[in-house]
Amino acid sequence: MLLGGAMTGTLGQVHNKATKGTSATKVSLHSWTVTKAGSVLADVRAGGRACGGGFNAVSGADKVTITKVVAAAATGGDESVAYSAELEQDGEKSSVEVVLVRQGTTTATFTARSASGAAEPPAAVVAAQLKKLH
């Protein structure tokens, strides 16, 4: 989720991107069964706690080191969760901001990265998308 990858086990999903200056936010909508929808955010929270100290990942052909994952403030939908993460790739440091919101059996994932290093929380994109989910 931190690298904007697809989630498995969905009934369907769609992805789009919003850009502003050097920042880009990937928006992914996922449709779940009623049973699975209720456990998605719990699974993400457990993963966030387990990965707080960092980990290595592969995104396509790129090797990335996530050096730190910290819970962030999130509101909206029936429930929500957010994380800030620090990344290191090819000697370059950057950050990613991720927000996951569940509304009924739909989750919306917002993954914000910046080419200039520090990502901004995607609050405006989250607010605009949540108006469409209600």
Domain ranges of the chain: 14-133
Tell me the C-alpha distance between 48 and 58, whole Å.
17
**Across the chain, what does the average pLDDT equal?**
88
Report residue 134's pLDDT band, with 50, 70 and 90 as the boundaries.
Answer: low
pLDDT above 70 (res 65):
yes
3-state secondary structure of 100: strand
Query: What is each CA distance from 75 to 81, 82, 99, 126, 127, in whole angstroms?
Result: 8, 9, 9, 10, 10
The residue to which tokens 């730190």 are assigned:
68
The yes/no answer on whether domain 14-133 falls in CATH 1.20.58 is no
Output the pTM of the full model.
0.88
pLDDT in tens, 38-62: 899 999 999 999 999 999 988 778 8
